[in-house]
């Protein structure tokens, strides 16, 4: 016998009822974006490898260790996208959208691929809902993006998602700060790996979670204290607008994101019920990104929210967001009533009532069991004698009450009862 296949390591199958929850989460997280004027965009799941090296950054773990890169039969180096921003910016530049109305506001959803060590909340394929607002550097837009993410979590009923906020400065203030930080890090007792990281991207060392490193970082210079005038003003304005919008946040001067393209406003949503993989979403502004993929010198801002982790957060807070019922009505035809049952199912579905049917010529007992399992509110039993009299038995599956209804009125009666 052949050994059965299993899903690849670090991936999982999304089956009902969790799959229904997944759709509800994607819907809830993207709805606020639509309400704020973002339009749907879809880009390929694989891109030119160089797009990610250039945008996400060669020194990041995502690019240096986690990419699924392969050569296609035409000898091109392609990579399964590890995140959504680079592809969207590539498409915006390729199709010259920045020559039109600015900002260009887009939302997207889909899987991303990272070769990470799998654990709870960390997968090799994960799904994000994201938005990008490109072409305008206005602090009010930063606040809109952040509030849109916060609204998605709020709408789902999550209460333990905290917003962490920071500014990473820009090309004016970051180089000088970087040097100061490097100098500081040079005086610490760090292992060879961390020392190398301090050389390539010292800001990332600030994010080190190990207690022995953390203790040494207590007195590290912070970017928040070293922002240039323009970045400070921008950040102050973002906070002013967030207050206007009623969004609460925590200052996180050590928040460094795992991708290199960020400048100025950066943020992350952390959920307290998730253990070590606590970031349910994150994003920020990116000044140089559009230019780095061949577009004009315009900045943008966006976020990516983790759908898989949001589902874990809902579970941690005991929130159910999807209706577990498969259908509202379940039809049970007996004997010659099958053709009429098929017709009725079609009529109910056209009327917007979700309807299933007992297939396979099961007896009454088995079919009623299937009706119960379906989660339907009503069963419609059509026996041969009912058929002769032009009626059906409408059974309330919760109370067990049963009434005979004329088949010609069945759709309207059911609609009324469901409303």
Contacting ligand HAM (CB under 6 A), which of 135, 306, 333, 383?
306
Contacting ligand HAM (CB under 6 A), which of 308, 311, 368, 374?
308
Residue nearest to ligand HAM (CB): 306
Peptide bond into 17 cis (omega under 30): yes
Site for ligand HAM in 361-380 (CB under 6 A): none
Q: For ligand HAM, which is the closer residue by CB, 171 or 351? A: 171
Site for ligand HAM in 225-284 (CB under 6 A): 258-259, 279-284
Site for ligand HAM in 281-300 (CB under 6 A): 281-284
Contacting ligand HAM (CB under 6 A), which of 153, 177, 235, 303?
303
HEC per residue, 370-387:
HHHHHCCCEEEEECHHHH
Q: What is the DSSP string of 93-162?
A: HHTTGGGSSSSEEEEEEEEEE-----BTTB-SEEEEEEEEEES---HHHHHHHHHHHHHHHHHTT---EE
Q: Check residue 110 and give left, alpha or beta (phi > 0: left; psi -120 to 50: alpha).
A: left
Tell me the site size for ligand HAM, rule CB under 6 A: 26
Task: Please tell me whether residue 152 binds ligand HAM under the rule CB under 6 A.
Answer: no
Sign of CA dihedral 257, 260, 261, 265: positive
Contacting ligand HAM (CB under 6 A), which of 130, 139, 202, 333?
130
Task: Residue 285: count other Cβ atoms within 10 Å of its Cβ.
Answer: 27
Bridging pattern class, strands 402-406 and 378-382: unpaired
Q: For ligand HAM, which is the closer residue by CB, 66 or 347? A: 66
Helix (H, G, I), strand (E, B) or coil at 246: coil
Site for ligand HAM in 172-231 (CB under 6 A): none
Instruction: Give strand pairing partners of 382.
Output: 333
Site for ligand HAM in 57-96 (CB under 6 A): 83-85
To ligand HAM, the closest distance from the beta carbon of 123 in angstroms equals: 4
Rounded distance between C-alpha atoms, residue 392 and residue 345, angstroms = 13
To ligand HAM, the closest distance from the beta carbon of 86 in angstroms equals: 8
Site for ligand HAM in 90-129 (CB under 6 A): 114, 116, 121-123, 126, 128
Q: For ligand HAM, which is the closer residue by CB, 312 or 329? A: 312
Q: For ligand HAM, which is the closer residue by CB, 114 or 340? A: 114
Question: Pick from 103, 19, 89: which is nearest to 52 by CA?
Answer: 89
**Which positions lie near ligand HAM, rule CB under 6 A?**
83-85, 114, 116, 121-123, 126, 128, 130, 132, 258-259, 279-284, 302-304, 306, 308-309
């Amino acid at each position: 016998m052949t050994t059965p296949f299993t899903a690849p390591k670090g991936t999982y199958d999304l089956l009902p009822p969790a799959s229904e929850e997944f759709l509800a989460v994607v819907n809830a997280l993207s709805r606020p974006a639509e309400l704020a004027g973002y339009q749907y965009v879809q880009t390929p799941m694989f891109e030119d490898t160089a797009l990610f090296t250039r945008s996400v950054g060669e020194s990041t773990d995502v690019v240096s260790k986690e990419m699924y890169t392969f050569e296609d039969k035409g000898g091109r180096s392609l990579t399964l996208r590890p995140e959504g921003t680079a592809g969207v910016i590539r498409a915006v530049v390729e199709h010259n959208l920045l020559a039109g109305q600015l900002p260009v506001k887009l939302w997207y959803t889909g899987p991303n691929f990272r070769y990470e060590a799998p654990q709870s909340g960390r997968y090799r394929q994960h799904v994000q809902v994201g938005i990008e607002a490109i072409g305008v550097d206005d602090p009010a837009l930063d606040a809109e993006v952040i509030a849109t993410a916060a609204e998605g979590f709020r709408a789902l009923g999550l209460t333990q998602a905290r917003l962490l906020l920071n500014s990473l400065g820009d090309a004016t203030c970051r180089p000088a700060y970087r040097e100061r930080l490097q100098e500081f890090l040079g005086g610490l007792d760090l292992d060879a790996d961390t020392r190398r990281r301090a050389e390539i991207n010292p800001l990332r060392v600030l994010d080190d979670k190990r207690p022995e490193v953390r203790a040494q970082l207590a007195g590290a210079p912070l970017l928040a204290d070293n922002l240039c005038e323009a970045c400070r003003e921008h950040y102050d304005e973002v906070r002013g607008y967030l207050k206007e919008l009623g969004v609460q946040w925590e200052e996180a001067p050590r928040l460094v994101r795992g991708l290199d393209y960020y400048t100025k406003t950066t943020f992350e949503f952390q959920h307290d019920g998730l253990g070590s993989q606590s970031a349910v979403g994150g994003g920020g502004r990116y000044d140089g990104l559009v230019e780095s993929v061949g577009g004009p010198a315009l900045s943008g801002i966006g976020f990516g929210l983790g759908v898989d982790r949001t589902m874990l957060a809902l579970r941690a807070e005991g929130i159910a967001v999807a209706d577990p019922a498969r259908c509202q009505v379940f039809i049970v035809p007996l004997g010659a009533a099958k053709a009429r049952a098929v017709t009725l199912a079609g009529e109910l579905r056209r009327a917007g009532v979700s309807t299933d049917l007992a297939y396979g010529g099961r007896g009454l007992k088995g079919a009623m069991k299937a009706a119960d399992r379906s989660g339907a509110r009503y069963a419609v039993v059509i026996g041969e004698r009912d058929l002769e009299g032009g009626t059906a038995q409408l059974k309330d599956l919760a109370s067990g009450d049963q009434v005979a209804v004329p088949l010609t009125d069945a759709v309207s009666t059911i609609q009324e009862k469901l409303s």
